[in-house]
Every structure is written in structure tokens, then in C-alpha cells.
Amino acid sequence: MNKIDLGWHSFFEKAFQPYQNEDGWVAGRVSLEHKHMYRVQTESGEMLAEISGKMRHNALRREDYPAVGDWVVLSLREGEQRAVIHAVLPRRSKFSRKVAGQVTEEQIVATNVDTVFLVSALNQDFNVRRIERYLVLAWESGANPVIVLSKADLCENPDELAEEVAAVAIGVPIHIISSAEHRGLDALARYITQGQTVALLGSSGVGKSTLVNHIYGRDILNIGDIRADDDKGKHTTTHRELILLPDGGILIDTPGMRELQLWSASEGLSTSFQDIEEVAEQCFFQDCKHENEPKCAVKAALDTGTLAAERFQSYVKLQKELAYLARKEDKGLQAAEKAKWKKIHQSLKSQPHR
């Protein structure tokens, strides 16, 4: 396996330069994350790797640790399929969400992704607002979003629903597919060429793993079996996994996310809701909240119906969520900074006096 097939790029080549004179140090790509262990793909094969003590010591935040899709700097242990990770190379893109639950912490879903397939099933779970939410994070990630509407075989009017999506996903390609009927899959192939990384994101049960198997041409992932009363399937994918396709191209299958909570994404919000932000530029007051201000262009657009009320509500809601997150994150950063200094003071104290 050569590095190009693994997604190597001149960007990483440059970032790796400071390490290339170290004896036996190579670059590898993280394909699976275990607890404290990583499965890494290299030119000399697949191996298990641990991060070095120094790296662990210096790591402060989630983003300082490797994630699936990362290129890392490794030293190989002679004669063993084991390695030590010394650094994470800078990321070209990073898809993050907030960890589930109350904790304000980043969860990195996948990195160095060229294209994200945002997969939604065309069944009773179909929800335009959820797609909007995914789009915000996808735009923020730096990867190109593509919307994949799956299970078309279960839907009477896929084109109508695709149009609804098009109205909230301006300029984003939309593909209608059915793995069951092998419909629309060829159109996806053009995104998955040699060295290109595509991550599949979407709620549990929408058919991501099934799609990976169809693209691969063989059942390499477990599929959630259909429960008697619906077609959602069991939650079988529990980890993120990078898969190398036989004809080149790299897929990252991610676990289903029941709730997708935003992680800092102000640019992603602006890109996703460009239509609204453009209208808002016409408001009389620059800091218009579009509530009761006079000469509010957004209100006018809502009144005439050129802007859909649901879309505006969704925008306001996501904006509030981001603002709330930013306040909490700020506090979290302060705490991390404090902890770091405490660590430094302690290590100074424990050094013998000279």
C-alpha cells in the first residue's frame, strides 16, 4: 500500500519535513481508535500504535490526540507490528460534534476528509431540519458536503423530498439512492477516486454500512438487522473505521448519532444559511436581531414568504446553540489552562534543588 492510496498529499509532505531525518520515523494514517490504542495504516502494513509519553504529557485538549483519518508521525518497533506515535500532522479538514450528554467536549468524528456523504433515509424519519444541522457541521469541517438520500425503495416521492432538501442545501449535490435496488450508486463513485477520502455521516440505521458494503463489493461491515416493526436496524457500528477500497479511494464509516450536537461552527452556520445572511445585510440596523426593529429585511422576507419561517427558526435555534456552546467552551478552556499550569508547577517542585 503506498501513501498516495492512503490519501497522502503535498500538504502532509511539507508538514512531515521536520521529522524526516529522524531514523526510522514514518507517516501513517489512523484507521481505528481503540481505548489508548490506534490502528494505523503505513507503507509497511497495518500496525497498532500508542502515543508517546511526551505527547501524552503535552496534550491538553481532544484535538491534540489522534483521531480516525489523521496522519501521524510514527517510530516503528523493529520486528514487531507495533509503533509509537510522536505527533499528529496538521489536519486538512476536521468534522467534530459535541460529545453526547451534558459535558462540553469536542468529539472528532473524522479528519482529512475530502467529501462527506450526509446520509438520510427517505422513510418516516426523513427530516429537513436534521439535514440542515449536519450541513452546518459539514461546512465547518472544511470537507465538501454531498447529500445522499437513501432507501429510495421505501419512498413514493423521492424527487419531491429531494426538492425540499435542495431548498435548504443551496449548491450542495443531492443523490437519491437505494442499496436494496442498487439504484444511484454509480453516481457516487466519482467522489471516491484514488486517494480521496469520503466519510459517511448520518443517523443510525440510514444504511451507511450497507452502502459501504455495496461500494466495496463485499460485506466487510456488519449491518443492523431489520427489527420486526421498522427498518431502522440495530446499532451495529460502534466505532469509526477507515476502509481502503480495492480500486483506490478511502471510506470512513461512522457510528450512528442519535443526536447531533453542534461543536463550534460559526463559519459553517454562515455558509449554510447564506440566503438568510444575505437578506439580513439589507436590514436598516447593522446589529438587527430581526425581532421588532423597523426596516428589518428579514421580517419583510418572512412576511412575503420569500424566506420560510421554519428555516429562519432553525437558523435562530442553531445560532443560540452555538452561542451557548461558546460560553461554556470558554469556561472549559480557562479550566484546562489552569490545570496545565498546575501540572507545570508540580513538575518544577518535584525536581531536586541544585
Ligand X SMILES: Nc1nc2c(ncn2[C@@H]2O[C@H](COP(=O)(O)OP(=O)(O)O)[C@@H](O)[C@H]2O)c(=O)[nH]1
Give the binding site for ligand X (CB under 6 A): 150-151, 153-154, 178-180, 204-210, 223-226, 231, 233, 236-237, 256
213 is a contact residue toward Mg ion (CB under 5 A): no
Written as nine digits, the cell of 103 is 459535558
Q: Which is nearer to Mg ion, 176 or 252 (CB)?
A: 252
288 touches, from Zn ion, Mg ion, ligand X, none (C-beta below 5 to 8 Å by class): Zn ion
Could you say which of 110, 149, 298, 325 contacts Zn ion (CB under 5 A)?
Answer: 298
d(CA 63, CA 140): 15
Residues 95-134 that bind Mg ion (CB under 5 A): none
Please state the length of the chain: 354
Residue pair 215/221 in contact by the 8 Å Cβ criterion: no
237 is a contact residue toward Mg ion (CB under 5 A): yes
Residue pair 131/125 in contact by the 8 Å Cβ criterion: no
Kindly indicate which of the ranges 73-81, 89-97, 160-168, 231-239 contains the residues binding Mg ion, using the contact rule CB under 5 A.
231-239
Minimum CB–partner distance for residue 205 and ligand X (Å) = 5
296 touches, from Zn ion, ligand X, Mg ion, none (C-beta below 5 to 8 Å by class): Zn ion
Percentages of the chain per state (helix, strand, coil), in multiples of 5: 35, 20, 45
Q: What is the DSSP string of 139-180?
A: HHHTSEEEEEEE-GGG-S-HHHHHHHHHHHSTT--EEE-BTT
Q: Alpha-carbon torsion 4, 114, 243, 210, what sign?
A: negative
204 touches, from Mg ion, Zn ion, ligand X, none (C-beta below 5 to 8 Å by class): ligand X
Could you say which of 176, 283, 318, 325 contacts Zn ion (CB under 5 A)?
Answer: 283
Kindly indicate which of the ranges 62-70, 98-106, 200-208, 269-277 contains the residues binding Mg ion, using the contact rule CB under 5 A.
200-208
